[in-house]
Amino acid sequence: MILLLILALPVIFMYLFHKNRKAAKPLLPPGPPGLPLIGNLHQFVTPTNLHIHLWKLSRKYGSLMHMKLGPVPVLVVSSAKLAKEVMKTQDSVFCSRPKLLGQQKLSYNCLDIAFSPYSDYWKEMRKVSVVHLFSIKKAQSFRPIREDEISRMVAKIQALASSSDRVVVNLSEMVTDLATTLICRIAFGTRYDERGSESRRFNKLVRDAQAAMADIYVSDYYSLFSWVDKLTGKLAHLDATWKSLDMFYQELIEDHRHRNRPKTLEEEEEEEDILDILIRLKEQNVLSSNLTWDHVKAMLMDIFIAGIDTSTASIIWTMTALMKAPDVMKKVQIEIRELVGRKGKVDEVYIQNLPYLRAVINESLRLYPPIPLIPRETMEDCILEDYKIQAKSMVYVNAWAIARDPEYWEDPDTFFPDRFLNCDVDIKGHHFGVLPFGSGRRICPGIYMGLANVELTVANLLYSFDWELQSGMQEQDIDTDSLPGITVLKKNPLLLVPKKRV
Ligand X SMILES: *[C@@H]1O[C@H](CO)[C@@H](O)[C@H](O)[C@H]1NC(C)=O
280, 428, 441, 491: which one binds ligand X (CB under 6 A): 428
Q: Judged by CB under 6 A, does residue 173 bind ligand X?
A: yes
Q: How far apart are CA 288 and CA 121, in angstroms?
A: 9
40, 49, 176, 378: which one binds ligand X (CB under 6 A): 176
Residues contacting residue 437 through CB under 8 Å, at least 6 positions apart = 427, 428, 429, 443, 444, 447, 450
* Dihedral (CA of 279, 280, 285, 287) sign: negative
Stretch that binds ligand X, among 156-164, 171-179, 256-264, 324-332 (CB under 6 A): 171-179
Cβ closest to ligand X, residue 62 vs residue 493: 493
The least distance separating ligand X from the CB of residue 426, rounded to whole angstroms, comes to: 3
Amino acid at 321: A
Q: Judged by CB under 6 A, does residue 421 bind ligand X?
A: yes
Q: What mask, x for binding ligand X by CB under 6 A, covers residues 284 to 303?
A: -x---xx-------------
Q: Judged by CB under 6 A, does residue 427 bind ligand X?
A: yes
Q: Judged by CB under 6 A, does residue 426 bind ligand X?
A: yes
Residues 435-494 binding ligand X (CB under 6 A) are 493
Helix axes 171-188, 274-284, angle to 10 degrees: 30
**Number of helical (H) and strand (E) elements in the chain, helices listed first:** 19, 9
The least distance separating ligand X from the CB of residue 80, rounded to whole angstroms, comes to: 16
Stretch that binds ligand X, among 123-131, 267-275, 335-343, 351-359 (CB under 6 A): 351-359
How many CB atoms neighbour CB 420 within 10 A? 21
141, 158, 170, 219: which one binds ligand X (CB under 6 A): 170
Maximum separation of any 2 CA atoms in the chain, in Å:
102
Is 444 annotated as a binding-site member? yes
The least distance separating ligand X from the CB of residue 439, rounded to whole angstroms, comes to: 12
Candidates 177, 172, 63; CA nearest to 432 is 63
Q: What mask, x for binding ligand X by CB under 6 A, covers residues 37 to 56?
A: --------------------
CB 257 within 8 A of CB 279: yes
Q: Judged by CB under 6 A, does residue 420 bind ligand X?
A: yes
Q: Judged by CB under 6 A, does residue 172 bind ligand X?
A: yes
The least distance separating ligand X from the CB of residue 456, rounded to whole angstroms, comes to: 14
Amino acid at 493: P
Stretch that binds ligand X, among 4-12, 82-90, 166-174, 482-490 (CB under 6 A): 166-174
Q: How far apart are CA 394 and CA 76, in angstroms?
A: 9
CB 193 within 8 A of CB 199: yes
The least distance separating ligand X from the CB of residue 326, rounded to whole angstroms, comes to: 21
**Helix intervals (H) in 215-367:** 227-231, 234-257, 265-271, 274-284, 293-324, 326-340, 355-367
Q: Judged by CB under 6 A, does residue 196 bind ligand X?
A: no
The least distance separating ligand X from the CB of residue 216, rounded to whole angstroms, comes to: 24
Q: What mask, x for binding ligand X by CB under 6 A, covers residues 245 to 284?
A: ----------------------------------------
Run of H or E residues at 450: helix 447-464
| b/e per residue 290-313 (b: at least 16 CB within 10 A) | ebeeebbbbbbbbbbbbbbbbbbb
Cβ closest to ligand X, residue 244 vs residue 285: 285
The least distance separating ligand X from the CB of residue 150, rounded to whole angstroms, comes to: 18
The least distance separating ligand X from the CB of residue 434, rounded to whole angstroms, comes to: 9
Q: Judged by CB under 6 A, does residue 358 bind ligand X?
A: yes
Q: How far apart are CA 62 and CA 57, in angstroms?
A: 8
Q: How far apart are CA 492 and CA 502, in angstroms?
A: 30
Q: How far apart are CA 195 and CA 305, in angstroms?
A: 20
Binding positions: 444
Chain residues binding ligand X by CB under 6 A are 170, 172-173, 176, 285, 289-290, 355, 358-359, 362, 420-421, 426-428, 493
* Residue ranges at the known binding site for heme: 444
